[in-house]
Chain A
Amino acid sequence: MSAKHNIPFLERQSYRRRRLIDTIRMLPVIGAVLWAVPLLWRQSEDSGTVLTSDAIIYIFLVWLLLVVGGGWLAHSLKRSNAEEQERGR
């Protein structure tokens, strides 16, 4: 009886895990797109070009986002793995 009750819960867990892995897969794509944004910036010599300091802040913010995002996802994956293993036992 209890096993039957557990099933929806467990399926939800592995569903979450799949979506988590999807997110992990997606992260580098997001990074690549964000880092491709500088290609759109104006290149001309006159005013209105992007300042290097702004460029630095943008690029490093993307970086920070990816690191924090990656770290959070890696941590979630570990937790999910542990749960998976516990269930496997």
Chain B
Amino acid sequence: MGTLNILVGVCLIYVVFLFLIAFAAERAALEGKGGWLRSPLIYTLSLSIYCTAWTFYGAVGYAARSGLEYLTIYIGPSLVMIGWWWLLRKLVRIGRSQRITSIADLISSRYGKSNLLAVGVTVLAVIGTTPYIALQLQSVTVSFDVFSSAYGAELTEATQGSNALLVAAGLTLFTIVFGTRNLDVNERHHGVVMAVAVEAIVKLFALLAVGIFVVWGLGGGVSETLARIDASEIGQWQMRGDRWAMLIFLSGAAFLCLPRMFQVMVVENEDEDHLRTASWAFPAYLMIMSLFVVPIAVVGLDLMPAGSNPDFFVLTVPLATGNDALAMLSFIGGFSSATSMVIVAALALSTMVSNHIVMPIWLSTQSVGASVSGDVRHVVLLSRRISIGAVVFLGYLYFRLSGGGSALASMGLISFAGVAQFLPVLIGGIFWRGATRTGAFVGLTVGFLIWAYTLLLPSFGAGTLVSETMLAEGPMGMGWLRPQAFFGITGMDPLVHAVFWSILLNTMSFFIASLVGFPSPLERLQGAQFVNVFEHSSTPQSWGGSLAQTEDLMVMAQRIIGAREAQNLFEREAKRQGMSGLLPEPSPDFLQRLERELAGSVGAATAHAMIGQIVGGASVSVEDLMAVADETAQMMEYSSRLEAKSEEQARTARQLRQANEKLTLISEQKDSFLSQVSHELRTPMTSIRAFSEILRDSDRLSEDEKIKYSSIIHDEALRLTRLLDDLLDLSVLESGRVNLNLQSGSLKGILDHAVSSALTGAGEYKIRVERDSAVEDVMLNTDLDRLSQVFINLIGNAQKYCDASVPKLRIEVGRSTGALVVDFIDNGSGIPKAEQAVIFEKFSRTGEQRVKGAGLGLAICREIMTRLGGAVEYLPGQGGAAFRVTLPEEAALAAQ
């Protein structure tokens, strides 16, 4: 009993020592003196949590049962480590650049920060890890049992149970104290890592000590031991090739996918360069760990009575040979293996549970949102602590319920096969951009269902969860679905069968579902980010920060990463932006950095959601892109509208300029009108005055002369009267006070009258008029006298101005868009383009003043036609001067 007490004492001292080491490491890290904490050696040693109690005790039992097969469990990880350049380097870089906190976080981040996926991975990881934790608790209690029974103190089952509970409680306490001391933005736990590293040395030392004792103390040297191995029942190479290959693959896969391995390898990684050292140092560690396993097994088989449990030869061989101190060391070694595994596994799982299950639920219950709710920091820590307790308790529960029956090694392998289901999604995610969330979800689901159906459920023994008939004949008699012989392929090893089918179908369904589906924009951005992590290391999505309130962000950040850290971060950021004070601009760049910092504490999906709550926009969604595109389209439309408007304005300006030119011209015409009028009035007045003076003053005038002079006076007076009549007429027409005398008559008649009166007195120079009397037979209802005046004027103009040698005038009657048009076209040289605009103005006369006229005729014509509701225009391009008189429709129609 004394030795047992010493054992308990040593155990307690060891535990206290671990607490102190962890505490010292935390302190050193806090004071910034922990340079040695971040050495590649510590990193390598921390990886040794791969070697659990299963390795420490179980490997010997495994070797005693199946020879060298146990080596596969170490060869797989060795190959993965040596092949670090392929996979681990990328994984670590992604983990660091994206601030990944767990394997669930990695997978969810990669597939568009999907929380559903994270929850799925978390649940599966818990299912896969719980038996493993139970295994550790079992190994500690059983090893204690072995020790005490060696001293004749049989432990009751109740004592065993309470021992396990005690260990579980102690481990929970340790993990809570050092795993959730603070909410570190980098999610690194120096205390835990340090303790794990020390335990790694302890277990290596213990196993080496037992091995050396066995080889040189009991076996009598290397060659004798080798001979003894060959002579033993495992002395010949008997290996199923499929198991050998499959187990190497399986252990390598599990090494990458186990949550606890991911924790120490990626999350706790301080420096990518450490991986370079660990790439050869960790295989060396594994090699040394497995070196003495076979000798211990063989000597144990020789030494121990038949039927004793080979799983505990490491303990029982020294005990049987009376080496208490060595046995105690070995016990401590096993204890170390078990505890370090449970601590890190609980830490990793609690991070996942807390970040992906508890926090989202808690956040969704806080209807007010992250910025105004309570202290998130406390909630995160509390949920972590509760999760740690829950995870360890789950392991304990499993241990109690399963009764610790099955052999350690097979339980470990089942767990390996479970977490290996993450492998296709993980590898696909970091090497293949086409992998989608749906694919990942389908692949994981298929893989886990097959794993549970072919391996987990049958492992509880035929007749418990899976009935014997189902095992032999398949569910409902479907033979091809037998849990251990899919598609009727019998004879496969159950483990190989399960791993082969689950991984194969997992990969296939992941691949096919990825091909068929279409990823969301965020997924595609994250995919590019992960796959091309070495090309660019910035985050894909940017926050539209203009709406964000920096103060709200500050409040939230303080709650999560702590007041001082948050203030430092914000101040640093403000300085970087070149601003004074504490609050930086919420630039997308800053928001991205903040999100990463927060992701270190609460996981990427949660951090994304929290910032999203404050900033407003969730992320770059298709809708956002559409909105942006919409805005652009609107801008383009607006600018084209502006363009149209400015064109219109240019047009208006052009019109205004034309109007202005016309006005200037008219104003000039007005001036010339006045001078014209005075001139026109003065000329006849002058001759009237002169001839009337002659008549008055001279008596010796002949009768002929008197008649001649008085007729000149008469002519001039007539001319004056005509001019004044015209002016009066024009002013009456312009003022609109004219009274129209509407009558009915034929166009032909009017034209006949107009031609004859226009040409009276023209003599031999009479212009020839061409008419088509057939089309002129149109009845009109208008002011016939006024219309006739217009025609007379136009015909008279042609008579006066046509400069052709044989002057001709064509009068054409036709219809244009319903209106009646009468064209007067002569064969002269026409009117120059420059003058066409002004010929209808008063006193405008063309070029050379060949014929006398006041220049009022066309102005009067235009006024008359306007009054009649029609128009008179110059018709260009007819070969000579051409005028078109347009009569309104009603004038023509009313008469018909």
Interface residues of A (CB under 8 A from B): 21, 24-25, 27-29, 31-32, 35-36, 38-39, 41, 43, 49-56, 59-60, 63-64, 66-71, 73-74, 77-78
* B241 contacts A39, C-beta separation under 8 Å: yes
* A52 contacts B234, C-beta separation under 8 Å: yes
Q: Give bound CA distance, A34 to B232, whole Å.
A: 26
Q: Could you say which of A32, A54, A74 contacts B280, with CB atoms under 8 Å apart?
A: A74
* Residue of A with least CB distance to B72: A35
Chain B residues near A38 (CB, 8 Å)? Answer: 237, 239, 244
Chain B residues near A70 (CB, 8 Å)? Answer: 81-82, 279-280, 283
* Residue of A with least CB distance to B80: A28
Q: Mark B288-322 against chain A: 1 for CB-CB distance below 8 A, else 0.
A: 00010010000000000000000000000000000
Whole-angstrom distance between the Cβ of B543 and the nearest chain A Cβ? 34
- Asked if B9 CB lies within 8 Å of chain A CBs, one says no
Closest 3 CB pairs between A and B?
Answer: A28-B83, A70-B280, A50-B237
Chain A residues near B244 (CB, 8 Å)? Answer: 38-39
* Residue of B with least CB distance to A68: B280
Q: Could you say which of B237, B241, B276, B291 contacts A60, with CB atoms under 8 Å apart?
A: B291
Q: Give bound CA distance, A28 to B83, whole Å.
A: 5
Whole-angstrom distance between the Cβ of B885 and the nearest chain A Cβ? 93
Whole-angstrom distance between the Cβ of A61 and the nearest chain B Cβ? 11
- Size band of the interface chain B makes with A: 35 or more
Known pairs A25-B86, A53-B227; A67 contacts B283 (CB<8 A): yes
* B82 contacts A55, C-beta separation under 8 Å: no
* Residue of A with least CB distance to B40: A74
- Asked if B245 CB lies within 8 Å of chain A CBs, one says yes
* B283 contacts A51, C-beta separation under 8 Å: no
Given contacts A25-B85, A35-B248, 14 further A-B contacts (CB under 8 A): A31-B79, A35-B75, A35-B79, A39-B241, A39-B244, A50-B236, A50-B237, A54-B237, A56-B68, A56-B229, A60-B287, A63-B78, A71-B281, A74-B279
Known pairs A74-B277, A78-B276; A59 contacts B67 (CB<8 A): no
Q: Give bound CA distance, A51 to B223, whole Å.
A: 14
* A67 contacts B83, C-beta separation under 8 Å: no
* B68 contacts A52, C-beta separation under 8 Å: yes
Chain A residues near B226 (CB, 8 Å)? Answer: 53, 56
Q: Give bound CA distance, A50 to B68, whole Å.
A: 12
Name the interface residues of B215-274: CB closer than 8 Å to any CB of A: 226-227, 229-230, 232, 234-239, 241, 244-245, 248, 273
Chain A residues near B248 (CB, 8 Å)? Answer: 32, 35
Known pairs A59-B71, A70-B279; A52 contacts B236 (CB<8 A): yes
* A31 contacts B294, C-beta separation under 8 Å: no
- Asked if B622 CB lies within 8 Å of chain A CBs, one says no
* A49 contacts B229, C-beta separation under 8 Å: no
Chain B residues near A71 (CB, 8 Å)? Answer: 280-281, 284
Chain A residues near B238 (CB, 8 Å)? Answer: 43, 49
* A66 contacts B279, C-beta separation under 8 Å: no
* B79 contacts A32, C-beta separation under 8 Å: yes
Known pairs A49-B237, A66-B78, A70-B279; A27 contacts B229 (CB<8 A): no
Chain A residues near B294 (CB, 8 Å)? Answer: 52, 56
* B277 contacts A67, C-beta separation under 8 Å: no
Known pairs A28-B79, A32-B79; A49 contacts B280 (CB<8 A): no
* B237 contacts A52, C-beta separation under 8 Å: yes
Chain A residues near B68 (CB, 8 Å)? Answer: 52, 55-56, 59
Q: Could you say which of B67, B82, B85 contacts A66, with CB atoms under 8 Å apart?
A: B82
23 interchain pairs (CB within 8 A)? A21-B85, A25-B83, A28-B79, A29-B83, A39-B241, A39-B245, A43-B237, A49-B238, A51-B237, A52-B68, A52-B235, A53-B235, A56-B294, A59-B71, A59-B75, A60-B291, A63-B283, A67-B280, A67-B287, A70-B279, A70-B283, A77-B276, A78-B276
